[in-house]
Chains A and B, each alone.
Chain A
Amino acid sequence: MIQVTGIKKSFGDVEVLRGIDANFYEGKTNLIIGKSGSGKTVFLKCLLGLHNINAGEISFDGRPLSEMEDKQRRELRLELGMVFQGSALFDSLTVEENVSFPLKMFANMSKSEIEDRTNFCLKRVNIADANARFPAEISGGMQKRVAIARAIVMNPKYLFCDEPNSGLDPKTAMVIDELIKEITLEFNITTVINTHDMNSVMQIGDNIIFLADGKKAWEGNKEEVITTDDQEMADFVFSSELFKKIRRAARMEQGLR
């Protein structure tokens, strides 16, 4: 579990995060939702230690970040996996080299063990016969899969995904969401996902944090999204007429109005 208490982050005079509390649970797909520019990426990068926070505390299974020495922080890094919004694959390396890169750098493994682990992860994300290709030579959906394979290759306890299905067609987006969900359950990972995609919310929203104006404006799960009376939250998730109708129908079914 990751426990976040009162974190604040500003850039110069601009306060992006203005005191946020949140819990992210093990074996669950935890979602952070909010409009573009609401600070989702900044929030994730604070969790990853890529941004220093101005106030608050982030605690990884009872280990507070602020009390960690450099060495412990480096060790924690090895427990983190991250899927960046644009995949962020290393474009001078092949698909296979991308995935095996963290293993080569840090793991005490033989060449064949590294190869086995790399191929296991690539197979897990359903990539076959692309080992020798470069990121520029494969589709956006495949790049996302490779990025996921690279993020799980070190067997992370915590997995972070920044809008994993942005730029993908709806079908591929759903497949990627499902893949992340399956991996989370299979390896019992604490997964945190940024999204503004309504489909993801309804499909994999085990635990949802809604960010607005630098604060946590709502918290719940995908069932509660339907029943909530919070208008701002409902307006955000059910933005189109079609979604509004779906919500009304679902509420009627539950005897709400």
Chain B
Amino acid sequence: MLENKLVHIFASMFLKNFIEDVGRYFTLMGMVFRRPDNGKVYWEAFVRDIYALGVKSLGLVCIISIFVGAVVTIQTALNLENPIIPKYYIAIATRESIILEFSPTMISLILAGKVGSNIASTLGTMRVSEQIDALEVMGIKSASYLILPKIAATLIFNPILITLSMFLGVVGGYFAGSMTGMVSTTEFVEGLQMDYRPFYIVYALIKTVIFAFIITSVSSYYGYFVKGGAVEVGENSTKAVVASSLILILANYLITQLLLG
């Protein structure tokens, strides 16, 4: 009885907030996609955001990609220790897992953590310190000025990050294979060229762009509407990361069904 009641209460709380959240999210998006008051000022914000949200993630993405590429190759090699299966299959498997899932999905998830919390805490701080009110008083469409450049920056820069990640992941596999002696460089290169489907890269980049939009818009939502002070800013950046990661995973499933299923 009590359990049923609790479940009921939690469900109604979650659903009520959920519907409210979705409604406010779309209202915010309506406020974001407005004609800029001044293209030049927006451009300056865009350049700052490319740096803060994109360029600053380069190092992390590079290091993770090289090492995961290496690990994927080694593990595939260990699992394919069957003399009848040719070694170049290791390269094919590495290529497919990096291009299809690791780079677009896992790197996007990592960016949801890094970029998402950055966006939510930046906007949240601006909200509680009345900087957003200051923009509004000046007659500036604050949601549009603050969020539109961030969305543009990540939609453009995340595909660059992910492409780089694919390349470095394969490079990591190439070196790991030869250094451990599990697959020679000629076999690896042979495998890379075999049965290669350019559509997979297109598919990965479509996912990346959709994920970038989810990360930036959802995190902006949690930052822009913070109420309270520093504690709430912290809470909301955690919520931003959790929500954008969950939505991203769900979207990944749907896109995969749609494009490859």
A-to-B contact residues, CB < 8 Å: 45, 48, 50, 74, 77-78, 80-82, 84-86, 88-92, 101-102, 104-106, 154
Contact = CB atoms under 8 A, between A and B. Distances in A.
**Residue of B38, B130, B131, B138 with most partner-chain A CB within 10 A:** B138
A106 B38 contact: yes
A118 B41 CA distance: 16
A27 to B, nearest CB: 22
B75 interface: no
B136 interface: yes
B23 interface: no
On chain B, which size bracket covers the interface? 10 to 19
A90 B137 contact: no
Contacts of A82: 133-134, 137
Of all A-B residue pairs in the complex, the 10 with the closest CB atoms, nearest first, are A77-B139, A88-B130, A88-B134, A84-B130, A82-B137, A102-B138, A105-B38, A88-B131, A105-B41, A74-B139
Interface string B106-147: 000000000000000000011001110110111110000000
Given A45-B133, A88-B131, A104-B40, 7 more contacts: A77-B139, A78-B139, A82-B137, A90-B131, A90-B134, A92-B48, A106-B139
B37 interface: yes
Interface of B: 37-38, 40-41, 48, 125-126, 129-131, 133-134, 136-140
B143 to A, nearest CB: 14
A105 B125 CA distance: 22
Nearest to B131: A88
For B48, B125, B134, the residue with the greatest tally of chain A CB atoms inside 10 Å of its CB is B134
Contacts of B130: 84-86, 88
B30 to A, nearest CB: 15
Given A104-B38, A105-B37, A77 B138 contact: yes
